[in-house]
Amino acid sequence: MKNILVMCTGNSCRSQMAHGYLEKLQDGLANIYSAGIEIHGLNERAVAIMAEDGIDISGHTSNHVTEYLDIDFDFIITVCNHANENCPYIPSKNAKRLHHNFLDPSKAEGSAEEKHKIFLKVRDEIKEFCQKFILRELH
C-alpha cells in the first residue's frame, strides 16, 4: 500500500481538504496523511465546506510534519508555495514530490457569502486535483 503525505503551511485548510478527498476517492489504495510546517488547528470553514460535499473531516487533527519522519512516503504533495519552499527534509527513499499552489481560502475577506464562494472554489479545485492524481498515480 502507498503512503501519501499532503502538506501546507498550517495543516488547517488546504491539506485537510486534500486529505479528505484522497481518503474518500482512492478506495483503499493508499494511506493518507496530512501535515503542516506549522500547526494552526483545523479550520471550521474547511470542515463545513467539505461536509457540503459529503466528506467529514471534523475528526482530523492538525499535525506537524516532524510527526511523520519515520514513515516512508511514496508521494509528498505540497498544496501551497510556502510549504513547498520551506518543507523540511523528509527522509523517504523514493518519494515522488508533487506541488500545486492553491489559494489560501482562510485569508479570504468580505462577507460570509463571499468567503463561502472562495472556500467552494478552492475545495472544487482541490477535488479535481485529487481525482486526477488518483487516476494518474494510483491506478
Per the annotation, the verdict on 13 as an active-site residue is: no
pLDDT score recorded for residue 83? 83
pLDDT score recorded for residue 118? 98
Q: What string of DSSP letters covers 73-133?
A: -SEEEE-SHHHHHHPPP---SSPEEEE-----GGG--S-HHHHHHHHHHHHHHHHHHHHHH
Among residues 80, 90, 122, 126, the one annotated as catalytic is: 80
CA distances from 22 to 77, 104, 108 (A): 11, 19, 24
With contact defined as beta carbons under 8 Å apart, do 47 and 19 qualify?
no
Helix (H, G, I), strand (E, B) or coil at 34: strand
Which tens digit of pLDDT belongs to each residue from 95-124?
999 999 999 999 999 999 999 999 999 999
pLDDT score recorded for residue 51? 98
When divided into structural domains, the chain yields a total of 1
Distance CA 52, CA 139 (A): 27
pLDDT score recorded for residue 101? 96
Range of the domain at 106: 2-138
pLDDT score recorded for residue 94? 85
Among residues 25, 87, 103, 108, the one annotated as catalytic is: 87
Output the domain CATH number for residue 132. Answer: 3.40.50.2300
pLDDT score recorded for residue 18? 98
Distance CA 62, CA 28 (A): 22
Among residues 4, 6, 8, 46, the one annotated as catalytic is: 8
Q: Provide the 10 A C-beta neighbour count for residue 124.
A: 13
Per the annotation, the verdict on 8 as an active-site residue is: yes
pLDDT in tens, the chain (139 residues): 999 999 999 999 999 999 999 999 998 999 999 999 999 999 999 999 999 999 999 999 999 999 998 999 999 999 998 887 877 667 677 899 999 999 999 999 999 999 999 999 999 999 999 999 999 999 8
CA torsion, points 130, 9, 14, 117, in degrees to nearest 10? -140
